[in-house]
Amino acid sequence: MSRIVLLTQPECVEAATYRLAAAQAEIVVALTRADLDAAIARGTSDLRLISFGSPVIVPQEILSALPGPAYNVHPGPPEYPGLFPSVYALYDGAKSFAATLHEMVAEIDAGPIVSVNRFPIPEDCDRGRLDMLTFNEMLRIVQRFAAHLVDPSTALPSYDGRWSGPRRTRADFNAMCALPEDASREEFIRRLRAVGEGPNHALTITRFGRNFHLASDVRPVTRGGQPTD
């Protein structure tokens, strides 16, 4: 029996492993880089790696040790690579969004694209709701391709989709959260919708040498639409 190493976060384990049932493989959950290293140490000849909403960056040496491609489920469409794609889609006023299944390569969000599940962004959608809709599409992708992941040496067919747009980083997100002193009302509304409100992702403004967090409605921090607590 082949092994699937599911590299993910605690709040995603139950839903993601349930959707992988059709793979008929041993599923090993890895929450940290140490967990991943331990799974690799058991041998790689029968191993398929799937990253699902994980912040762990998989280095080239691990990807090269696998018998076939590893895959990542990206919480956004190919035109929004990098961290927190929902933030930038909301800021841009995008009308649609997606979850993307792609082959992992050393460069983040750059590998061949297997599938893109697109959906319309509802009117007045905030970040929490968009992340939840995206999480559901991520699960649908996993369930759809689960049975095709059994043979770890076989690559899933890709299509001619291309990554585009800037690859956002943590520094980009921090800059988005820092509201300029001269921001217009329209800019404030755009950023508030994009960033949302919560203890770890609130807009801030610096005045008189002090940082002020503009969070009037403190909500639980979520990842992929799932509460982290």
Give tens-digit pLDDT for 129-139: 999 999 999 99
Residues of the chain with CATH 3.40.50.170: 3-149
Region 3-149: CATH code? 3.40.50.170
Tell the burial category of 63 from Cβ atoms under 10 Å away from its Cβ (0-12, 13-18, 19+): middle
Rounded to whole angstroms, the Cα distance separating 98 from 53 reads: 14
Q: Which of 100-104, 205-209, 219-223 has the lowest mean pLDDT?
A: 219-223
The pLDDT value given to residue 198: 67
Rounded to whole angstroms, the Cα distance separating 149 from 169 reads: 30
* Tens digits of residue pLDDT in 142-168: 999 999 988 899 999 998 789 999 999
The pLDDT value given to residue 218: 47
Rounded to whole angstroms, the Cα distance separating 118 from 177 reads: 27
If you average pLDDT over every residue of the chain, what do you get?
89
pTM score of the predicted model: 0.88
**Average pLDDT value for residue range 13-37:** 94
